[in-house]
Amino acid sequence: MQIDVKGKTLYHGTTRAGIKILKPFSHNGVDGEPVVFATSDRRFALAMIHGTGNELAVGYFVDQESHKEEMYIDELQEGKLTLLNAPGVLYEVGGENFISDPRLSHVEFISKVEIPVVNEVYVENILEELKKDASLTIVPYEKVLEVMKKRNKNPAEPAIKYEANRFE
């Protein structure tokens, strides 16, 4: 099912300031296709700036008690939350040329054409910015297994098996 984001603001996070046009690049997360990524969730864009993969897991789950969708960042390797203890840049773009893709999460969108930047926001410390949002759960390494069990997730079996080099 396609999610329509036309007329909506999307976000793209990076470490590079001063970008005026986001250009498609080849990405392993979409089988090497050249795309521009953006998300409807500002928090997700911030969390993805400084690595995910084997260090951090960023995702969503539906709480079985409240039935509300919650975003989480799990520290998969001890001390790796510090990756987010760094600056970043959040770009706002229009959703007109973006589509959803079944290979991605429900908040991620791709475009195969160049995308003009609407606004640039410098974030001095991504982790501190994310901690301001009470609806986001940041799980330190020592609690990840316990929290995964509460989400009915088996840490030995990722829900989606990704290629190890998907962020290259």
- Residue 67, pLDDT score: 81
Cα–Cα distance between 145 and 135 in angstroms, integer?
20
Do 63 and 137 form a contact (C-beta atoms < 8 A)?
A: no
Chain position carrying tokens 């090497």: 32
- Could you give the domains of the chain? 9-150 (3.20.170)
**Over 80: is that where the pLDDT of 162 sits?**
no
Cα–Cα distance between 153 and 11 in angstroms, integer?
28
pLDDT tens-digit readout, 84-139: 999 999 999 999 999 999 999 999 999 999 999 999 999 999 999 999 999 999 99
Share the mean pLDDT of the chain.
90
